[in-house]
């Protein structure tokens, strides 16, 4: 190996380290300075707290999502039960995804073209969820496929790694993950057959078993096997569990997806490269993440995946026109923009020492005051021997303020009950002695994720005893 090759490898390693460090810093900046406002983020945190408290998903609380993302994110919460530490975990997952995507971009262009694009992802990232985890594993599998036949000695190891990460996509999101796993299996069978190595697909299956077997053992050992199928399969197709929606903010990302698909097709027509076709297919699978809720948070996953061919075409056409100095200037401008974007909301927010789980988190003081008042009113009834059930999809905020986990109320939202309906839970509360139900006066308009017909059931079967702070308090009629 000559000295110039060594220098090239060293330079590449240094650039990768610099890229990861910068991506991590900017991702953390955006993540940690985000306002306390996303219910999706709170619901994820709440389930992580539950796991830390020893509660078992599917057995102790309903969850229609797969468990891997929540189990991983519960690790920082285990060490520090705060929303801040939880966000550090989110930031790390996001940074890993952006760095993996940067590596894909860098292979198609160069360091100075790929890095600013990865920075732009940071600005537009709406929220890190289990879908982020899914796409992270998809990028790993895609990059493994690119290296699959470079070294025959490493083929078996790469097939096992592909199996592990493909299984992880299923454990991140059951629908898209299963489609992806089957697609990867078919791709490998075709590729290995051409190399007269079809029997080696068994190493991919071995890789699948490495995550799947422990997960099966976990379900059986914790008596959550039945609950898992009830929530993650039957619950998804049961009557009343659908939560479909379309938001106009997804249109801009759809344009990026469309342009990316066109770019991939143009690149494929020119090169006839199977890897480009694989990129299109994997991207179309990522689009399914957007179903049934079609909004910017979901379609964003596909948009940044299809940014890769856009960057590749841009680089091929304009690379010679953009100097290294100009590229560095662009990186600097985007870096400043990220800092401005991250700190812009802070003047309207504040920090609190009153609630231990919310330390170092930018807050809207008015929202916290509202839930402090709700907690005080709830405590008044509880001091008189009543059990108070608060029914709203926003209930998780009260749970965080109180520093406790309470299911299923914390996840009282459409599509999160398995085969059991929201009305089933409400009727149980009504029939439980000494139970007061608190529900927002504007329940039907407050949040589209509030289960339907609940307000009407309560008014029909219960007696109104008080209206206070925007909430109505009911007790079962005698």
What is the per-residue pLDDT across 408-425, written as a single tens digit (0 to 9) for each? 999 998 888 878 889 999
Per-domain residue ranges for the chain?
Answer: 3-343, 364-476
How far, in whole angstroms, is CA 47 from its chain's centroid? 13
The arithmetic mean of pLDDT across residues 176-202, rounded, is 93
**Average pLDDT value for residue range 373-390:** 97
pLDDT at 224: 96
How would you class 354 by CB atoms within 10 Å of its CB: exposed for 0-12, middle for 13-18, buried for 19 or more?
exposed
Q: What percent of the chain has pLDDT over 70?
A: 96
- pLDDT score at 162: 98
Q: What pLDDT does residue 149 have?
A: 82
Asked whether 308 and 260 are in contact (CB, 8 A), the reply is: yes
Cβ-contact 172, 215 below 8 angstroms: no
- Indicate the helix (H) or strand (E) that contains 203: helix 201-221
More confident residue, 111 or 217: 217
CA distance linking residue 314 with residue 175, whole number of Å: 34
DSSP strands (E only) in 299-425? 387-390
On the question of pLDDT at 2 being above 60, the answer is no
The larger pLDDT score, comparing residue 198 to residue 184, is at: 184
Mean pLDDT of the chain: 92
Pairing of the two strands 245-246 and 387-390:
unpaired
């Amino acid at each position: 190996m000559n000295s110039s090759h060594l220098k090239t490898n060293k330079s590449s390693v240094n650039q990768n380290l610099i890229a990861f460090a910068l991506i991590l810093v900017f991702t953390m900046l955006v993540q940690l300075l985000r306002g306390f406002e996303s219910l999706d983020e709170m619901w994820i945190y709440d389930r992580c707290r539950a796991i830390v408290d020893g509660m078992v998903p599917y057995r102790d609380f309903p969850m229609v999502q797969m468990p891997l993302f929540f189990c991983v994110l519960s690790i920082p919460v285990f060490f520090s039960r705060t929303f801040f530490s939880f966000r550090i975990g989110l930031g790390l997952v996001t940074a890993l995804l952006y760095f993996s995507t940067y590596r894909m971009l860098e292979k198609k262009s160069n360091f100075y073209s790929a890095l600013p694009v990865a920075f732009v992802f940071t600005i537009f990232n709406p929220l890190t969820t289990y879908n982020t985890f899914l796409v992270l594993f998809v990028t790993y599998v895609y990059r493994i496929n690119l290296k699959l036949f470079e070294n025959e000695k490493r083929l078996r190891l790469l097939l096992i790694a592909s199996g592990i990460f493909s299984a992880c996509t299923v454990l991140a999101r059951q629908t898209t993950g299963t489609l992806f796993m089957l697609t990867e299996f078919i791709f490998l069978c075709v590729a290995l057959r051409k190399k007269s190595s079809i029997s080696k697909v068994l190493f991919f299956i071995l890789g699948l078993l490495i995550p799947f077997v422990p997960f099966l053992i976990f379900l059986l050992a914790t008596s959550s096997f039945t609950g898992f199928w009830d929530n993650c399969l039957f619950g998804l197709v049961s009557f009343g569990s659908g939560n479909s929606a379309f938001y106009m903010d997804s249109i801009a990302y759809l344009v990026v997806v469309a342009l990316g698909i066109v770019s991939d097709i143009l690149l494929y027509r020119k090169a006839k490269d199977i890897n480009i076709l694989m990129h299109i297919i994997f991207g179309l699978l990522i689009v399914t993440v957007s179903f049934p809720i079609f909004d910017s948070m979901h379609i964003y996953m596909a948009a940044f995946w299809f940014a890769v061919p856009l960057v590749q075409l841009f680089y091929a056409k304009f690379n010679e026109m953009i100097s290294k100095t100009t590229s560095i200037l662009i990186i600097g401008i985007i870096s400043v923009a990220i800092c401005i974007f991250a700190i812009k909301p802070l003047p309207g927010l504040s920090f609190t020492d009153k609630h231990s789980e919310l330390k170092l988190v930018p807050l809207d003081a008015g929202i916290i005051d509202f839930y402090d008042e709700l907690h005080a009113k709830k405590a008044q009834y509880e001091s008189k021997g009543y059990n108070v059930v608060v029914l709203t999809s926003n209930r998780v905020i009260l749970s965080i303020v109180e520093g406790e986990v309470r299911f299923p109320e914390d996840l009282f939202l459409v599509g999160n009950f398995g085969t059991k309906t929201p009305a089933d839970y409400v009727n149980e509360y009504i029939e439980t002695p000494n139970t007061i139900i608190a529900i927002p006066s504007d329940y039907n308009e407050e949040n589209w994720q509030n289960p339907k017909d609940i307000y009407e059931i309560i008014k029909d079967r219960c007696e109104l005893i008080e209206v206070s702070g925007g909430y109505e308090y009911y007790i079962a009629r005698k």
